[in-house]
Amino acid sequence: MPGPVSDVNDNSFQAEVIESDLPVLVDFWAPWCGPCRRVSPIVEEIASEKADQLKVVKLNIDENQKTAQKFNVMSIPTLMLFKHGEVRKTVIGAYPKRKLEDELEPALA
């Protein structure tokens, strides 16, 4: 079952992420990235469970290099939590769900 995760790109990033009223978790990924595929279902679970307090989007870095470069994404998967248009937390790598939630929770509070 697909979760409430939508795709963003260089053109929609400003409106969907920076200007969002809700905090936004951005999953920077690429189709060739094995760890990205492992973290994707975890990100979708978090999106489903926190749909009322968090927006979750994915950005394909191969197709949207401008945004990836702007936020200095060097390794993927990179997850960035934006709140009021600013990066509040960055998590690099494929974390288990509990560890990822522990990393994100303080930034959501």
Block residue for tokens 């920076």: 18
Q: Is 17 designated active site?
A: no
Q: Is 39 designated active site?
A: no
Instruction: Name the active-site residue from 25, 33, 46, 104.
Output: 33
What is the mean pLDDT of each successive set of 10 residues along the chain, which is 109 residues long?
78 97 96 95 93 94 97 97 96 94 90
Which of the listed CATH numbers 3.40.109.10, 3.30.300.130, 1.20.1250.20, 3.40.30.10 matches domain 5-104? 3.40.30.10
Predicted local distance difference test score (pLDDT) of residue 108: 86
Query: b/e string for 50-61 if b means 16 or more Cβ within 10 A?
Result: beeebbbbbbbb
Predicted local distance difference test score (pLDDT) of residue 1: 35
For the entire predicted model, the pTM comes to 0.94
How far apart (Å, rounded) are the C-alpha atoms in residues 16 and 59?
11
Instruction: Name the active-site residue from 17, 24, 26, 36.
Output: 36
Predicted local distance difference test score (pLDDT) of residue 30: 97
